[in-house]
Chains A and B, each alone.
Chain A
Amino acid sequence: MALADDGPRHPNPPDDVPCTTCFLSETRSFPVTTPTHDLPTPAGGPDPGGSGISGGPGRDMDEPPKGASFVSYLLRKLGGALTSMILVIVLGFFAFRMLPGDPVLKIAKERPMSPAQIAELRSQYGLDKPVIVQFWDYLVGIFTGDFGESYVYRKPVAALIGEYLGPTLLLTATAAVIAIGLGLWLGQLSAWRRNSLFDKIASSTSLVFWSVPTFWLGLILLMIFGGTLQWLPTGGMITPGLDPWSLAGIVDIIKHLILPVITMVAVVYAQFLMVMRASLIEEMSEDYLTTARAKGLTEDEVRRKHAVPNALLPTVTVVFMHIGGLIAGAVTVEAVFSWPGLGKLTFEAISGPDLPLLQGTFVVFSAIIIVMNLAADIVYRFLDPRVRRA
């Protein structure tokens, strides 16, 4: 967090370990300083000090409960993910039934329809049944992969999502890999050369990128490289007519990928940078680094072989947790670059408004994010021997 502000005033640079939270705030899912969000729920954990009224000083929300075996840990996490998924499914149903406007009347407005036709359309979408029956149909639909039919596309929502899922995964996975690599690499360099010019530039740049809306950054890139310079295509995933599996097709897809990926990376790498920086700074005061130096290792070896691996541990989970935010960022980026993915589908569903489609994309997006978080929890358990042993 050392920007230009702590020049002469702070002879001791702020160690800013807790400060990771301070410049990234929630709408953009900021890096939480403490890595695991393994929250000992009073129900699942061991006895949290009676009624919690006299919770001992050691009782911290981020400390995994002692004595929990891996199986119970896994079950607890699975239970948590399952609860979240149930909440998503319930929310996905009831939120869309709160709508004041009648979707069928909206369709009917566009072309003349007789009341009989309207009633037929209503029964076609199942809107004439009682809410409970609709909910049951919806539940059965979700478990059989039937999300209803899109009002606008006139196609099953599940088929549409299946068609658009691939490009989104390609885009977000590429962006995630690059953002994580870049963020971690810059973060460890920043921490190692704390308060150097490099650190200040890296931190300020990430702060600026963090302060702009993702879609605006996309528009600017589109304007410069797609509009003025005309170096790169302005939208879509592939030039129509090209075979995506041929060499020319792959090169074409990569060209289309560049701008959306840069946009997504620019906005999220800052979070990874700050987490890595904070985590490494915390390690830097540890005694084992002095030992390593005393052994005669070079600074570079100390950093690469000793400090960074330890700092990586807490970083990994935070990184995983923020992939949710990255996936959500796909909505605006895909809208700007007309990338044929789930985000663009969501954007079109909003402007429809195409409720079954919006419902479907919401549930699928949420499911992806919940699964990623579950994976993060499990991976962390394997990575950190301290947590594993506990």
Chain B
Amino acid sequence: MPENDTTAEANAPEPNPRTSSATQPPVIDGAKLVRERRLNNAKKNWSLFRSDIPAMVGSIVLVFFILIAIFAPFIAPASMLDVTKQLDVPRYAPPSLAHPLGTDDLGRELWVRILWGARVSILVGVAATVMSMVIGTVMGLAAGHFSGLFGAIVMRIIDFFIVLPSLLLAIVLSSVLERGVFTIVIAIGLTSWASTARIVRSQTLSVESRLYIERARILGAGHSHILFKHMLPAVMPLVLANTTLTVGSAIIAESTLSFLGLGDTSKESWGTILKNSMDISAATSGYWWYVLTPGIAILLVVLAFTMVGRAFEAIINPALRSR
């Protein structure tokens, strides 16, 4: 692309400007071309995304939940969660105009708890996913690129994590570490990367056999050059699409761990609310709103992430769109 620039400029001041302006091709700005191509691609992808109705609905739902998570302290101050300040509020009030989503066993408004719970649930979902993607990409690249003993060992580790359900490992990890949001992130991130690694590995293997990798190798490229300049960009789209899809299951994993009592009980999360409802057996006592609302929040967010992720995947992998 810089070569294009120089030739174009070298051609411009030619001896016969009158004829050359007619016969010479117009001056080509390589950088501009690339910019235009990227812009066009982005436009095309955006129109693909926009025509995907579930994905659009999903993004609206996501934006809504992210906004309420960010502005929770302004919409409902933290004092509304303080049990000691809920003296004149009825307990177990069913949803009504005064209490839109009902109140819990301590008189707290459920909508406030959902609002604050969105912060932890979404944060943990995203953070754990990022961690799991980073580990998965590194392990997958390593398993696909290196062979011999090192590759074999990496492969065995991936295999181990594929076979064992991540929930089981996450339970063990989060029960031995100090309770807290960070622990939950670690527990989910450390145990859920195996299938990403698998996908990355198979993509790495198929890219490794392409000619341009061989060319790079012949020109003297080392492992790090091939891994970071060629492999990483080749697997990134796949990883990114997978990321959006994984956030949903990370949110479910967070709620499961919190429900089992492994979460940070001092912080609101949708799983914690469900655990509280289970502790007072709300399901069999008729406090349906206590059970229903946090679950619906989880369902909406997970579905939204899944819809958006599928749209991304369809854009990245045209084979999914039409065969």
Residues of A participating in the B interface, judged by any CB pair closer than 8 Å = 1, 3-5, 9-12, 14-16, 18-19, 21-30, 32, 37, 39, 41-44, 48, 51-57, 59-62, 80, 83-84, 87-88, 91-92, 95-96, 98-100, 207-208, 211-216, 219-220, 222-223, 226-228, 234, 324-325, 327-329, 331-332, 335-336, 346-347, 350-351, 353, 358, 362, 365-366, 369-370, 373
Contact = CB atoms under 8 A, between A and B. Distances in A.
B295 A347 contact: no
Contact of B164 (A16, A24, A51, A366): A366
Contacts of A98: 176-177
Contacts of B302: 211-212
Nearest to B247: A25
19 contacts: A1-B310, A4-B53, A15-B319, A22-B241, A22-B310, A41-B152, A41-B156, A42-B151, A43-B149, A52-B145, A52-B146, A52-B148, A53-B217, A54-B209, A61-B198, A84-B163, A220-B283, A336-B278, A370-B164
A62 B167 CA distance: 25
Contact of B298 (A15, A80, A216): A216
Contact of B310 (A15, A23, A214): A23
A123 B168 CA distance: 30
Interface in B200-216: 201-202, 205-206, 208-209, 214
Given A14-B322, A223-B288, A350 B261 contact: yes
Given A27-B192, A27-B250, 12 more contacts: A15-B319, A22-B241, A22-B313, A26-B195, A27-B253, A51-B148, A53-B147, A60-B206, A80-B156, A212-B299, A215-B274, A216-B298
Given A52-B147, A226-B284, A358-B172, A5 B55 contact: yes
B86 interface: no
B192 to A, nearest CB: 5
Contacts of B291: 216, 219-220, 223
Contacts of A52: 145-148, 151, 208
A28 B214 contact: no
B286 A350 contact: no
A207 B306 contact: yes
Interface of B: 51-55, 132, 145-149, 151-152, 155-156, 159-160, 162-168, 171-173, 175-178, 188, 192-196, 198-199, 201-202, 205-206, 208-209, 214, 217, 241-242, 245-246, 248-250, 252-253, 255-256, 259-262, 271, 274, 277-278, 283-286, 288, 291-292, 294-295, 298-299, 302-303, 306-307, 309-310, 313-314, 317, 319-323
B277 A219 contact: yes
A207 B196 CA distance: 20
Contacts of A212: 252, 295, 298-299, 302
A335 B257 CA distance: 12
A151 to B, nearest CB: 13
Given A26-B166, A207-B303, A370-B163, A214 B321 contact: no
Given A10-B322, A26-B249, A219 B278 contact: yes
B214 A54 contact: yes
A324 B164 contact: yes
Given A25-B245, A228-B286, A43 B160 contact: no
A319 to B, nearest CB: 15
B284 A223 contact: yes
A335 B291 CA distance: 15
A222 B283 contact: yes
B148, B155, B193 interface centre (most CB from chain A within 10 Å): B155
Contact of B209 (A1, A55, A100, A325): A55
A365 B214 contact: no
Nearest to A80: B159
A358 B175 CA distance: 9
